[in-house]
Every structure is written in structure tokens, then in C-alpha cells.
Amino acid sequence: MRFIDSHTEGEPTRVIIAEGPDLGSGPLTDRLARFASGFDHYRRAAMLEPRGAESLVGALLCEPDHPQCAAAVIFFNNTGYLKMCGHGTIGLAVTLAHMGRLETGIASIQSPVGIVNVELLSPNEAAVENVQSYRYRKNVEVDVEGVGTLQGDIAWGGNWFFLVNWSPAPLTPANIPELSRCARLIRRELERQNITGANAEEIDHIEFFGPPAAADAHSRNFVYCPGGAFDRSPCGTGTSAKLACLAADGKLAAGDVWIQESIIGSRFRASYRIGESGAIIPRIVGTAFICAEGRLIQQQGDPFRNGIVLSEET
């Protein structure tokens, strides 16, 4: 598989640009289903050690089935497939520019959850107008053994999030192991109590919030992702979910900018407009940089040609 690696505000994206699985044609959702059912060894080989890492998000570059789209993409990680990925879309835009396939301006990208618009602002900066985002439930109380009783909002930003305006430890890199432990316990308790998003969909991201380190930022977050990794960026879909909650509470007006810091201090500039249905349309601005390009090789006889499964964490 030929690939180009980038990072968006510290969070890596690996775009498979050629020699990936042949998923045929038809709706992107059907191709995603084929990927998961018949070609998952491609995902494992690209994402898992020894060729990948738990923090890596993959993006399979596909031909769109909507003529107005510049490209289509399927996102995945170390444990499965993602509905949408904000940082990954910014990374994809910068990658397409690096390939000479995208020029400064606005283009449409097809994802399994809908079409998103990307504005390439410069070779290393892009704005993603995400899918419609909304808060599903407010102040859901959960008693988590080893953490305590807490409240969180359930919101959709392209993935399902449980957002907690509190943190079990200060939001610093030194506390990442403790933050991950608590987030893992919260997610397991949500699953145990059958607390879900709309249509009984799994809540697979946990997000803590606290005060920012920079004077001009509004908040710092820690986002725990499927597979047990934490997001090095402020998380595009997580920031979209946060905007939905702020808008629902009347704390952020349409067009106003919210600066969201990540656990490592990188940032997104975020705002929103109101969509036709009344849900918000988030706009996430961030920078991405190309890190590497090359070809992943799977030799016959290699016992780990399809990756090493180190954890069953989901």
C-alpha cells in the first residue's frame, strides 16, 4: 500500500493513496461495509504495529459517487472504522494539496456520514465544515466505580461523545495515564448501563474539559478514542460536539470563535452556523503537515504481516 502521513495539530493521519483494497463501486456506505467484512486485514496491516501505532488514524482515499465531490474517504483506526474524523479531513486536504489534487479554495469531500466541505486556506491550513451536530441528552448522571458520580452531555459531532465539563486530574501530559484510566471506566459503565446515542448507537468517545493554558483559548480537552488512544489534537468531531452543547446552552452565538486546546496545547479555531434543520454546522480550522510518504510492505512468511493485536480495548 502506498501512503502519505501527516499530522494535524499533533494527531497523525495515514492516507492510503494507492494499492489498497479494491472495494468496487457504488455507495460509499456499501464500500465501507465491504472493507469491514472482506478486507479488514488491510486496515490491521496499516494501523497496527509493526507498521502503525495506536494513535494513528487511517484514511482510504476513494473515488466519490457524488460528482460534485473532489474525493471520498473511509476513516479507520487500530480497532475499527470511524464514521467521521475532523483532524483526518484536515490532514486529507493538506495531503491532496501535496499531491497536486487540491488547490486553495473550497472542495467537497464525501464521507460515510455525508458530504463535508473543506476550504484549503494555505498548503498547511484547512477549514472543515463538518456534518450537522447536536446535543442528544444533557446532564446524564453516571456513577462510575473508581471515578465517582459525574454528569455529562451526549452529543453528536460525526461520532458519539460523552462530554464531561470536569476532569479527574489536571489536563497535562503527565496525567494522561490517569485520564485514560478514568475515561475507559466511564465508557465501560455507559455500555453496562446501555446509555447510548440516538438509535442505540454506541458512545465510543469520552471527552474531559478544563481551563486552557493559553490566555486566548477558551478550554482545554482530553479526548479518549476507540482503541484506547488519546487524541493529540483537540479532536474535530469532539470540538463539533462541544459547539453543539455550547449552542444549546446559549453560551456561544453563531459565528463566534471558540479556541479549543488539546492535551498537548495544540488548538483548533471553531465556530458554527445554523443548518436548515436547526442543528449546527461546525467549522473547524487547523493546520497539518506532511511527515512521510512511502509504501507498506507485507512479505510472505511474516507472522505479523497483518499487524500485532496488543489489546482488545474498544
Residue 14 above 80 pLDDT? Answer: yes
* Known catalytic residue at 62: no
User: Of the listed 69, 85, 182, 225, which one is catalytic?
Assistant: 85
pLDDT digits (tens, 9 = 90+) for 79-107: 999 989 999 999 999 999 999 999 999 99
Return the pLDDT at 83: 86
Cβ atoms of 92 and 73 closer than 8 Å: yes
Residue 181 above 60 pLDDT? Answer: yes
User: Of the listed 182, 225, 235, 245, which one is catalytic?
Assistant: 235
Residue 311 above 70 pLDDT? Answer: no
Length of the chain: 314
DSSP count for the chain of H helices, then E strands: 5, 16
What DSSP designation does 232 have?
S
Residue 191 exposure: Cα atoms within 13 Å on the Cβ side = 12
Residues 279-287, mean pLDDT to the nearest whole number: 97
* Known catalytic residue at 182: no
Q: How far apart are CA 61 and CA 17, in angstroms?
A: 6
pLDDT digits (tens, 9 = 90+) for 35-76: 999 999 999 999 999 999 999 999 999 999 998 999 999 999
Return the pLDDT at 310: 78
Longest dimension (CA), the chain: 59
Residues 197-203, mean pLDDT to the nearest whole number: 97
For residue 204, give the nearest of 56, 29, 77 by alpha carbon.
77
Return the pLDDT at 243: 98
Q: Which domains does the chain have, with CATH numbers?
A: 2-131+291-295 (3.10.310.10), 134-274 (3.10.310.10)
- With vertex at residue 276, the alpha carbon angle to CA 272 and CA 278, rounded to the nearest 5 degrees, is 65
Task: Provide CB contacts within 8 A for 208, sequence distance 6+.
Answer: 164, 166, 167, 168, 171, 179, 182, 183, 221, 222
Q: Which residues, in sequence order, are bridge partners of residue 110? A: 72, 115
Residue 125 above 50 pLDDT? Answer: yes
Residue 314 above 60 pLDDT? Answer: no
Q: What's the whole-number average pLDDT of the chain? A: 95
Residue type, 12: P
Cβ atoms of 262 and 220 closer than 8 Å: yes
